[in-house]
Amino acid sequence: MTQSEPLARAIARHLPADGTVATAIPGVTLIRASTPTLPMPVVYEPTVCFVAQGRKRALLGTAVYDYEPAHHLIASVGLPVVGAVTAASREAPYLSLQLDLDPRELAELALDHPAPARGDAAAPPGLTLGTTAPALLDAATRLVALLDTPADAAALAPLIRREIHYRLLAAPEGAALRQLARADTRLSQIGRAVRWIRDHYRERCPVDEAAAVATLSRSAFHHHFKAVTGLSPLAFRTRLRLQEARRLMLSEAIEAASAGYRVGYESPSQFSRDYARLFGAPPAADAGRLRAAAAG
């Protein structure tokens, strides 16, 4: 039996069919897929993703993150990521646990359990791949297992969530989460700008205003923003616009020109060029391909 099998069995018990399900435990989401999936855009909130079975790939800018049961992925700020399940079958479906991170709890734990001082104030990447230690995997398994005993979940789930937060902070990749927990770090500054751009991405979103939100000079803002997100501020805004336009076309059957207008594009031709550059096909053709794939 592999170390991840207990977690895989716990997820499979509560997710017998493919899909993404928010459970009765706040902040805990289970994911199952019986086949590899097309790369799809998603905005990751601060979260940690554990793979219990199968394999997944996340793309952020030019960076590629492949993770499987031996690893977990931490998103420390809300990022527009392209994700795809790369290994899954009916016999061995992709099974994953996604847990929302609580910045306040991280801050409290970081104060109570400080790490050795470091002189490096650079912003770490917004996505971090970590090796899942046995104690961390055990805590994740116990959290999902609480779905078997709902009467215990209200009392015990917060304790196990806190344990997971602590173990993530104590791990080698915990430096990024410690920066997230403090308001005066580069990661927190860029996090504020990321949230501002996400709230205003349909607007012109001048870079100077986003830099002011981060309380950084224009040059420092550009440098640290790309270190965290893998994208320039304008490319980040473009990615948010295109991902939302794709969602509108697929989920609300909106035609391409209207979708582009609704996410902030004034020029249909510019929208089509940017869309094809990101997704590999013009908007209408890409939406048709995805609808056909979904129909089976």
Instruction: For residue range 58-96, list pLDDT tens digits in order.
Output: 988 778 899 999 889 998 877 888 889 999 999 999 999
Query: Residue ranges per domain, the chain?
Result: 5-180, 183-231, 235-295
pLDDT at position 159: 97
What is the DSSP annotation of 9-71? HHHHHH--SSEEEE-SSTTEEEEEESS----EEEEE-SEEEEEEESEEEEEETTEEEEE-TTE
Beta bridge partners of 53: 95
What span, in angstroms and rounded, lies between the C-alpha atoms of 99 and 104? Answer: 15
pLDDT at position 125: 76
CATH number of 5-180: 2.60.120.10
pLDDT at position 121: 54
Confidence class for position 150, pLDDT limits 50, 70, 90: very high
pLDDT at position 273: 94
pTM assigned to the model: 0.78
Nearest to 49 by CA among 89, 105, 95, 9: 95
Question: Which has more confidence, 21 or 190?
Answer: 21
**What would the mean pLDDT of 234-246 be, rounded to a whole number?**
91
pLDDT at position 295: 64
Helix, strand, or coil here: 94?
Answer: strand
pLDDT at position 9: 95
